[in-house]
Structure formats: C-alpha cells, structure tokens
Structure 1
Amino acid sequence: AAAGRVPPRRRAPGETVLPERAPPGDGADPVARAIDAIKRWFTEGNIPVKIGVLILFLGVGALMKYSIDQGWVRVPIELRMAGIAAAALAGLAFGWAKRESHRAFALSLQGGAIGVLLLVVFGSYKLFHLLPPGLAFLLLVLIVGAAGVMAVAQDALALALLAIVGGFLAPVLTATDSGNHVALFTYYAVLNGAIFGIAWVKPWRALNLLGFVFTFGIGTVWGFLKYRPELFSSTEPFLILFYAFYLVIPLLYALRQPEDRRGFVDGSLVFGTPLLAFPLQAALLNGDTKQLALSALVLALVHVGVAWFAFRRLAMTLLGQSHALLGLGFATLAVPLALSARATACAWAVEGAALVWLGLRQQRRLPRVIGYLLQLAAGLSLFIALVDHRLATSTAEIIGTAPVAVFNGDFLAILLISAAGFISSALLRRESDTRAIAPLLLIWALGWWLTLGINEIDRFAPADLAVYWQLGFAALTALLSAEAARRLDWNELRWPALLALFIAPLFIIGTRAANPAGPLAGLGLAAWLGWFAASLRTQRNLEQTQAPALPAAYAVHVFTWVGLLAIQFSDLARDRWQLGVIWQVLFGLAPLALAFAGSLARWRALRFPLDADAEAARPALLGVLSMMLGIGWVLGLIAEGDPAPLGYLPVANPLELAQIGFVVALLYWFQLASREGNALIDAQSRAQSLAVIGFALLTSITLRGVHFLGGVPWESQAMMRSALAQACLSVVWCLAGLAAMLTGARRRSRPIWIGGACLVGLVIVKLILIDRTHLKDLYAILGVLAVGGLLMVVGWFAPNPPKQVDAEAQS
C-alpha cells in the first residue's frame, strides 16, 4: 500500500499554494455566490464559445436595428428575419449533433441559437408587425418547449433555465390589451406543469426557484395592476394550483437528492411559497377576514398533512418538521385573523421565526437573514398601522359586540410578533456564532411585549383604573420573565424581571393619585397584593438563577411596601382619624422603623423568600433606612410635636419617645456591628456622636416642655426672648454636664469628664452672653442659681479630670 501511494509534490521555493475552492453552498452570501457564478461562467467550460455566442447575440440585435435606421439593406424584412431564423436553426441542429463529442461547445451554441430564435419571433411581432399575437405566442411556446426537452435530454440545467425564462417572458413580450387573465394563468399553469415534470426526474433547484419567482412575481404585478373583486372566482383556482405546484416540488427535490443529502429542505420554496401566496390570498379576499381565517385554517391542515406524509411515508424528519411548523403557524394565525389582526404582519412574523429555525437546523446563513428581515418587516408594518390608527376590522364588526381586552385582533397580532422574536432569540442563543444577534432579538421581542401592554391598557382600561392595569402588567412581566429564566436556563431574561421589580416604587405615586383614600384603598389593595405575590415568586426564581442584582431588587421590594404603608398610614391618620401633623408623620415613619428593626434583627418574615441575597442587601438597607429615619429625627427636633388629642408629658409623648427609640436602635446597631467584627465607627467617634445626638435631643425636649407647659410660643425669636426657656436650658445643660463629669470621674474616663466640663463651660458662656439680659426675670434668676448649685456639686465630687483612662470603659 505504501508503494502504491503517490508522494505529494514538493513545493518549489517561493511558490504560493492556493487553497482549494469549496463549491458555493446554500449558506454562502448571495452576493458572493452571484459573483462566484459569474466568475465561473467566464473561467470554466468552453469560454470562447460562450463569449462568441454573446457577441453574436448582441451583434444580431444591433445589426437589425441599424439596418432599419440606415435603410442599407434592400432585402425585404420578411426574408431578413427568415434568414436569421434559418441560421439559428442550423446552429441549433449543429449543436444538437455535437452534443456528445463537444458537450460544452454544443450547449453554448444551442443556448445562443435559442436566444436568437426568441429574438426573431419577438422582433417580427413587436418591431415589424409581421406576426399576429397568437402566432407569435405559439412560436415562442414551441421554441421554449423544444428547449426544455433538449435540456432534459442532455441534462443541461443552463439550457432549461434559458427555456423557462423565455417561456415566462413570452406572454409578456406578446401582450395585448385583451386582459385575458385566464389564458395567461392557464399558460403559466402549463409551464409550471413542465417544471413539475422536470422536478420529477431532475433535482434542479435553480429551475424550481426561477419558476417560482416568475409565477408569483408576474402574478403579483398583474394583481396590483389588473385585479378587481369580481375576478375572484376566475383567479382563486390558479392561486391554489400554483400553491399546490410549489408545495409538492420541494418534496420531489428532497427525494431526488443523493443519499447523503436526501431530505434536504429547500427553505426558499417551503417557506417562500406561503410567504408570498398568503398575502396574495389576503389581497384577493379584499379584507374579508373570516374567509382569510378559513384559508389559514385550510393551509394549516394541508401543511400538517404534508408533514405527516414526510414523516411516515418519506422518513424525512427535517422536511416534516418544517411543514409541521408551518401548520402550527397557520393554525395560530387563524385566531388573530378571525379577530382582525394584520394578516401580512402575522404571516411574516411566523415565517420569519420558522426560517430562523430552519437556517439553524441546516447551518445556513441566508434563511436566517431572511427570517430576521421578515420579522423586522412584520414589526414595521404593524407599528405603522398602530400609529396611523388603521388596524384591521375590529372584533365588533365580526361578532357584533364591542372589542374586549385580550380577545381582539390587535392583541394577538402583537403577541405573535413578540413570540416570534422570543422564539428566534431562544434558538439563536444556543449557537456560538449567533449569540451576538440573540440579545437584539430579545430586546425586539421585549419591545413588542411592552407595546402589547401599552396598547391594551390605552384602549381598554378606564382612565381611573389604568395605573392598576399597568401595575398588573409589570407584575406579569416580572413573573413570566423570571419563570422563563429559571425553567429555560435563559439568563438574559433575568434583566426584564429585575427591571420590573425596580420600577415598582413608581406605581406608588400613580395608585395614590388614582384614589385619594390611599394607594391601598379600593382596587389598590388587590392590585398590590397581586404585585407582591408576583414579586416574591420572581425573587425566588431569580435566586435560583443567581441573578447578579438580586440584593438591590430585594431592597427595592422592601422600600416598595415601606413606601406603600407609609403613605397609606399617613392618609388614614389625616383623613379617617383626623389626627394632627405629627401623628401623620409618625404613622408614615412607622413602616420605615419596622423595616429597620426587622433588618437589624434579621427577621425571617422580612427576608422571605431570600436568604444570602437578603443578607447581602442588609448593610445598604440599614444604611438607607437609618438615613431616612435620621432625616425625620432631625426634622423632629424643630417640630412642635403637638400630641393632641393626647395631653403633653415631657419625654412621654409620641414624638420624643420615637426619637429616643431611634437613638436606642442606632446604639444597638453600632454594638451589634462591633460584635460581628464590622464596626461602623470607632469607639471614640461613637461616643462623640452620641454626645452630640443627646445634647440636641435634650435641648429639643427642654424647649418643647417650655412651649407646652410654660406657654412660650414655638418660635425661635420667642424662645430667645423667653427667660423661662433660657433658664431651663441652662439648668438642663448643667445637669447633663454634671452627670457626664461624675460619670467620667467614677469610670476614670478622661474624655467623658472633659465632655461634661465643655458642656458646663458652654452653660457659663451662655449665662454671660444671654441669661444675664434676663436677670430681671425670676426664671432667669432661678436658672442662674441652679447652675451655680450644680457647679458646686461638680466641684465637690469631680473637680479634676481622672489621671488614668479605662480603655474598656471608653469602648
């Protein structure tokens, strides 16, 4: 075996080795294939003959025209045309005779001769009026028929293509104004019958495609220019016949393939036929959506039957799947058509998704590109209709009732386009070379899904209930996206679900505006309960998919119910219970305090349904909640805080109890963080912050007591002028300073003692600058006396700062 092997030729120095050119596949770029075909035509086969025939062909035509213009040739035109025809027939006969010995030469010569004969007949009829239309048409048919027979006999596809082009152009070239469409389509039926017969024995895909393009192309042009509704009965049978031809021809093509390619699906015909024929059927029916829906149902049954035949009789799985998909598509399409959806847009969307699927199965780029473009065209078509408010016949015109939400043609048409985008994206994301396109199709599908919700809500939702519909649609979007992301392992769908969760707080304002009684009043309670049920399920699904932004989504979920309860409680306190401003504010802050306490204590009910992600969100949640409560706490320092209908008691009133409770919660948070090794601030900073907070709260409580018990107005100027207010502040501040100094001395903490001393020093400065102006007032005098007595106590018990610092006490 080794001896019989031919050794590879050694490459000479500097020689360039060109890679072998693979035959152009069906998945190649169409432009590249066309260029490659032209290049091969000029570089393969009998090149001189091809070029010579082209030159002769052009020369004959030019000579004919020039001779007429100059009048040089005195021979009658009849003889001249006959001579040219005779020369062409001679060349045709000679080419036929040489078909075995010089195949390339013979086929090129035959093609050129047939072209000349076609030109002679056309020129005799159109230019010189030597032949009547009927005879010219008959001669063209005979030439085309002869060329077709010769092509099949010699297995010459190029000759067959020339014949079929001539055949389809013959009635166009010999057209009159008679408008006999029955004769035209009968002739085309005969031509398609010939193509069908050739397809029975030859797998000539180019011939099939050419016949398909001419049949439906010329038919479409005729319909656009000449069709009238009264011609339906004489036109519909031909459309059905042509559809049947190009339904069966792909089956024959698949059967005639070599064994390794048997069952190959010609996607251009399998999907192109319904793609072009169904819009033509819609045009013939002239807006009769009932009949169009029936047509879609019939086509669904036909394609299901073909699919069954391909599966059971021909054992062609891919071809059967293609027709089954078309059957499903038409069955689905029948529903929106019955409810007046856009027929063409729906058909394009379904066909586009089917072509994407087929292109992936066959690893071909062209069907996929066509599928993308079809879906784009479907979307643009429907979008224009929506913008122009010129959608198809409404449900009311079909069933005699007003259209209802969901059960209307617009809804189902948009749903089909969105579903086609989702299906295409799902198919593409599993292929490595198409993953870049999958997100674009997903965005396209999501855009139409949003359009679906916006259109339905705009059309059918009452103005005062629209926000509840919007909330429900957002909840449905989050739920469906998260379920699909988990069940289909489709990570990109996590983002729509997360986005739907993130926008939930925006609906609080809308639901509050829709009902003055509060966002949870009336239908708001049911709408928000549905939202939270969907949100909890969405979070559970997203947790299983390990969504990256889930902690943030959980935090937004918490802030959503906090905001809802805050607004609702505040509205109840104002409108139903007729309470004052401070009660309204405190009721509004209560949900924030509840969420803060729950997060601080890690309540399981608050963290449901998450665990690790809720823990990850906990620091940020505590930080934001404490900041919001802190803002309320600071504003509470300057608030009057009238507890009516309750009486005022210092400290034991709603505002001050709430402020003290918040300070205690902060202390607990700081201590808890320190024990967990996540200290928020160091011990010294914590002590300083506590001192500032305590001083501010003590001052606010003192002034508020002066206001309610001493009758001083709650105004800054009145408090500054009030001897009672200034005396009480001096006494209270001095007591606080004394307590700090005593505590520092007992615990031997120098910073605490110094802090108390600073406060006492502040009191002394205040006495000098402010209180001395009120010494004519008893309250001022008593205040000064009290401060003096307290200072004496300090001098007795803690006159100096401790010399040693107990670190543990400081912490």
Structure 2
Amino acid sequence: MGKGQSEIRMIWLMVLIIVGVGAWFLDVRIFTYLCGLAFVMSVMQYVDAIYSPAAQIAAETHLSVQESSKVPLYLCSIIAIVGGILDWEFAIAVGITGWVFFFLRWLRRLEGVLNQIQTRLQHPQTPVSSVVENPQSQPHETQPASSSELIEQFKQWIFQGNPVLKVAILVLVIGIILLLRFATEHWQLSLAVKLAIVAGISGAVTALGYWMQTKNRSFALALEGLGLAALFLTLFFAYYNAVIPTLAIAGLCFALIMGVTLILSLKQQSIELVLMAMIIAYIAPFTLPVRNATAIELIAYYVVINLAVAVLSTLRPWKMLNQIAFLMTVIVGGGYAFYQGKEFEKNTLTFLVAVHTAIFVWLSFRFSQLIAKEDIAQFKLKPVLDIALIFGAPLVGYIFIYLMHFEETRWQAGASLAFAAVYAGLYQLSKRHQAVLLISQSYFSLMLIFLALIPPILLHKQWSVIGWAVEGLIIFIYALYRQSDISRYLAMGLMIVAGLSSLYYLVELNEFPNEMYWGLCLSYFAVVVVANSRESFRQQLGSSTIAFHCLQMLSATTMLIVLLLDEIEHSSQLVMSLLIVSGFYLLINEAMLRCKATWTWLFPKWLGLIPVFVFALIIVIDQSQQGIIVWPTLFDRLGFALSGLMLTALWLRPLLGVRTEKEWVSFGTLTSLAMTSLTLLPGMPYISVVILPLLFCAWCYWQLDNPDWKMFWQAHISLVLMASWIICSQLFSQQAFQGYILPIINPFDLVSIAVLAGFIWMLSLQVKSGLDKGIVAVLMVLSLLWLSSYIVLRALHVYLNTPFNEMAVWGNATVQLSLTLLWVSLAFITMSLASRKQLRSVWILGGSILVIVTLKLVLFDLSHIGTLTRVISFLGAGFVMLMIAYIAPIPEGENTNPSSRPSP
C-alpha cells in the first residue's frame, strides 16, 4: 500500500470522526450513525487490504493461517445501528462490544500471520515460492515532469531551500500590513511621518539585503524582497490616505520603486526577487483600511504593473512571471471589475482591457522570440499555460469586451475585426522568421477565429444563436477532414457560445424561440453523429472531446423533449414525445453501429439517455393514482411499453457496452425493462415492475456459453436495484393482499420468492467477481429473513388480523413468537442441509441466522412480549437448537469429491 494512499485513508477516517462527533452534538443523530457505519466499513476494508495479501503469501509459503470470517463484524455493526435508530441502548452496547471483540481478534490473527512471514524470511530453511514486495522499499522511479512548469516552479520555490526563511518573510509581510493599518488608525503622529518611517525602514532593509548578496544570496534576496514589498504597501497606504495628494505623484513613486525592482532583479538574475515584489504589488490594493479601489483604479494600476512585466520580459525570458501576471490580471482584476464596475465606466474599462490585451500579446510574441533564439532546435510550446499566453490573452480580452457590450452588435463585430487585423499583422511579421513558424501559424489561426466570429454576430437576435451553432458545426466537420485540433477546439467554443447565448433568452428575457432551439438541438446531434461516422474521425477524438459530446447529447436530448412537448398538441403528447425521442435514438444508434462506432459513441449515448429516463419517470408519476398506474388510453400504455423496449435495445446494442462499463449498462437495461414491465399489470405496479427483469435474469442464467450476460449481473448497480425492490415493495405496496389465496400461493409472495432466488444468484456471481464473502453472507441472510418474515406477517394479518407494517408489530406477542419460530426453522433447514452435503459456507450462513435468533430472544423477546409467548419462544428456539446440535454438526470443510458425499 502506497504512502499517499495510507495518508488518504487516515484523512478519511479523521473526517468521519469529526463529522460524526459534530453531528452528535448538533443532535443530528442519523448522520452520526451513518458516519459510524462508514468508519466501521472503512477500518475493516483498511485491515483487509493488509490481511488478504499477507494470508495469500503465508499460504504460498506453506504457513498455517487460521481462517477469519468478517460475518460477526457485519452482524455486530447492524445490531449497533438498529439499536441506535430504535433507541435501544443495550443493543448499541452489545453491538459495539461485540464488534470491538471480533475486530481485535482479527487484528491478533493478522499479527500472527505477519510474525510467521517475518520468521520465515529471517530463517529461510525451506524455499519460498513468493517474494514479499514492499512498494515503499523499492527505489522510486523517476517521475515524469509535470506538464505545468508554473506549478513545478512554485513547488521548488516553496519546498526547497530555506523554508524557515520563507515562512518568516510571509509572517513579516503580514505584520507590516497590520502595522500600517494600526498606524493609520491609532498612532498620534501625523500619518505622513508614520508612513515615512515605515518607508525609510523598508528602504534600509532593501539596501541591507543588497549589501549581503555576496555573503548569503538566498537570505539577501529575501531581505530585498521584503523591503520592496513593504515599499509598495507603504505607497498604497500613502496614496489612499491622501498623504500623496495626486495620482501623478503616486504613479511616479510607483514607477521609481518598480524601476529599482527591475534593476535589482536583472542585475542579480533573480526571478524570486521580482516575483515577491510583483505578487505583493498585485494584492496591495486589497490591504487598504480606508476604502475600496474603484474598478478603473484597480485595472489602471494593473496596467502599470503589467507594463513593468513587459519591460522585464523584453529583456529576460522569464515565462513564469508572464504566467502569473496573466492569471492575476484575469482572475483578480477581471473578477473585481465585474463585481465593482459601473455602467458609466464601461467605455474606460473597454480601453483598459484593450491595453492589457496588447501587453500580453506582446509578451507572448517577445517570449517566443527569446526562447527560439536561445534554443531553436528544442523550441516547442507546452500544452497549457504557454498556449494560454498566445490564445488565452486575446480570447479572454475579447470575451470581456463582448460581455461588456453584450447587446451592442457594432462593438462586438468591430472588436472581432480589430483583433483579426492585429493578428493578421502579427502573422505577416512573424512568418519571416523560421524560428517562430509555429507561432506564426498560431497567429494565422487566431486571425481566422476572429473573422469567423463576425457573421453570427451580425445576425438578428435569436438567429445569431443559430449562426453560432451552424458555424460551429461546419468548422467541426472541416476540422475532422483536415485533422486540425485548433479548428476543432474553435468549433467547440462556438457551440458553447451558442448554448450560453440561448440560456440568455430563456433566463433573462423569459422567451422560448422554437426556431433557435431547433437549430441548436439539431446542430448538437449532428456534431456527435458526424464525429463517429468514420474511423479516421473517431481517432481524433480525445477524452476532452468525448466529454464535450456527452454534454452536447445531454443538452440536445433535453431540448428535443421540450420542443416536442411544445409542438405536439394531443391528449397523449407525453407518451408520443417519449416514443419519438426513443425511436430517434434507436435510428441514430443503428446508424452508428453500421459505422462501427465504439466507446466514442457509447458514452455520449448513455449520458444523452438520462433525460429520457427522467421524462419516463415523470410520466409514470403523472399516471399514478392511489398506488396504481392508470393509463388513459391503450395507445399510452402500448407506446410507453414500446419506448421501454427501444431503450432496452439501445443499452444492449452493441453488447460491447457490457464489457466497457457494466454498471451503466446494467442500470439502463434494468430500468428500461422495468418501464416496459410496468404496463403489464398496472393495477399491481410492484409486481408488474419486476416481471420482465426476472424473465431476463432467468434467460441470462441459462446462457452458460456467453460470459457477457453473467458479467451483466455482476454489476453492483443490479444488486442495488434488486435490494431496493426487496425493501420498498414489502413496505409500500398497497396491493400486497390482492389475489391472496394461501401463504406463498398468491401473486405477491411468488414474485417475492422469485426475486429472492435471483438476488441470491446475483450474490453468488458477486463472490466470483471479488466481492467480500462476509458482505455476501450478511446480504443473503438479511434478504432471506426479510422476505420470509413478510410472508409470515401477511399470513398472520389475513388469518389472525395481526398488525401489518405498523409499530404495533413489535409489541404483538403472536407476531414475535411466529418470527422466532420461523427464523430458527430456517436455520435448522439450512444447517442440516449443509451438514449432510458437507457445505461449510452454507452451514455458517445458517449459523448466522441462529445468532440473530439468539440476539432477538435476549435483546427483545425477554422484555417486550407476554409471559406465555416468551416461554414458548425460548422453549421452541432452544429445542430446535438442540436438534441442530445433534443432527447438523459443523462440516469439516467444503466437499470437492462427489464420490465422498454420503448418500441421501
């Protein structure tokens, strides 16, 4: 187990403890119980991750290992949780005590196994067939460098060198900020004198650092950065407290300090110094105690800082400085401008955005030239932040201008044309230099991008959205034929703009133009279909493009359903819309199968079907009345059933989906079959919903030569769906007594038994796929007791008029006596059969039922039921246990030799 994984486990356990304790004190006990259950399961999984490999190694080295079952741990956890929910403090104490006991016994066995392995390795008298591999003892492989040099530079600067010095500098900077705030508000000296003292001390610290550079470079640079940062902060406090009366004088002082910073950085070749000063300069406006800066003041101030960055980058190719400047300007400056900006400041802010964009365009151009001159052979762009400096700066700048002038077409089109002209000029300038050929191609692409934005902008209102979508579709098809990544990303951007623009009409204007949404919907569908129509197209689709297609299908399907509901005016419009959408998906899926599309189509298809299932659920809820489903017409019933069958075919064709992602396919297939099945017996929905899933389960059981169908039922989601029916059907069904003749001889009991058989078969498959045997045993026992108990409860309610699904059940003596005798009888049948067939695991299963019976007798029957029934419960249970002890002793082991089995 890796060190990182262990730390994550420890953090997870600590979070559970903190949340559980906090919920307890906030009197939200249900969260405490859930956190306790999660803590118990996590600890058991953590120990099992150590115990299982150790036991396997011990077995391979011929060491004796005592088998340890986790069933008692699960049972004790269930007892404690049930006791907590029902406020049975004694049950909580018993459950926790038992869990701790069995857990400590498990740890003791683990310790014994590890000691045996250690002894064998220290004294290898016999050959060992397996070598213990400890990942932590192996030499670490050299990890590949991160794709983001900015992150690596931050890590190197923070974690290497002298960390104490860096923490001290950070603390001192915070102290200076607090000192300036305190001096501004409390000191009796004039504010000018106070700030002059602070500025003088800061200048002295800077000079001291410069003087010490030959003795201790890192310490000297830290002092210089501290002094310069303090000077920037002092200047801001002086200006915003009117000590410096005019902006011109403040700007001159700022330029002077910035000039000193640049000179010292260049002279000492230290990016750390300029970084420290620049970062403080960016955050300085937010340390002021007097007032907040206006949007224009902050953006104009950032222009001055970025001009200094441009000067420095013109002389030295410090890419990290450019990246920080870009990120701070976009995130901090842009966010502040949208938060504090006013309508009357729009034109000034537009000019400032254009200035910032020009600065970063120059930075990207100059940086590429400097890098290319240093190493032409190895020149290439990194995929994230380097590309952001070339493509991000103009695109972000244009987005800001576009949003500030959202309803002004001339501004938007004019900005697009201006940006296109700028990049056309840069393309002509840069293509003369072979060293920056890649940069020149990028500039040419940007020119085409801004030209492509103009036609949709000039269209009128909602037709502009259609223009974005159609142009995106055309460019996407062009990109696939030309294998151009840039064009494909441009098309994706246009599609996103179209979708966001359509939301503006729906949310802000409260309009629903059908033509716009039809164009957007069909364009989204067309992009996904075209991308999967050819093998050469599919090879160009990466994970990011597939994720984008998934979102497209989700949005397109939702729009299609809403548009059909708006277009169809009929009493059966809901089912008709569902039928059309299902048939449309089926046709597309068959076309994709002919094109041999695989996972690049499967994932968008699966996500696109989610709105269809939500829509089907809405239809079912709409047709439900007093626990039954009432279909208005035969067409509604048959149409809904046909839609369910088509959705089932969509999930199962191709069968490749079962091997690709069995959880998704299992969920979709079972849900689709349940949809169709609901139309068979609408008067008994809880029985009707599982008819087709049970028939499908039986068919898969007999497909012995096709492992894919068994893999289908090995999915955890199938188990969850079956378990949900087992619980909910018994609690909420209002037709449980319909057609009741005799116990078991009635529709509800027969279906419950069939579901139980399928559930147990699925659990056996889960064991083969690696699910813990202890969990499987507990689920088998609980499902058997749950359904059999409800069969008895229904019989008692019919014949003896006992309570049913009421709290009075717990106080009814007849019911409790019947449950005790039922459970002990099940234990007797299971354990006697297991003893005869020498099936140890089945015997342990019956023994678990016997443990539950014993706990019920001691914890509940002893104090909650009448005297006579209590006596009968104890006597009956004790007699059956006595018979079990005589007739069905525990088998010695699993019988693998058929000839050795005793004849019946």
Superposition TM-score, scaled by structure 1 size: 0.44
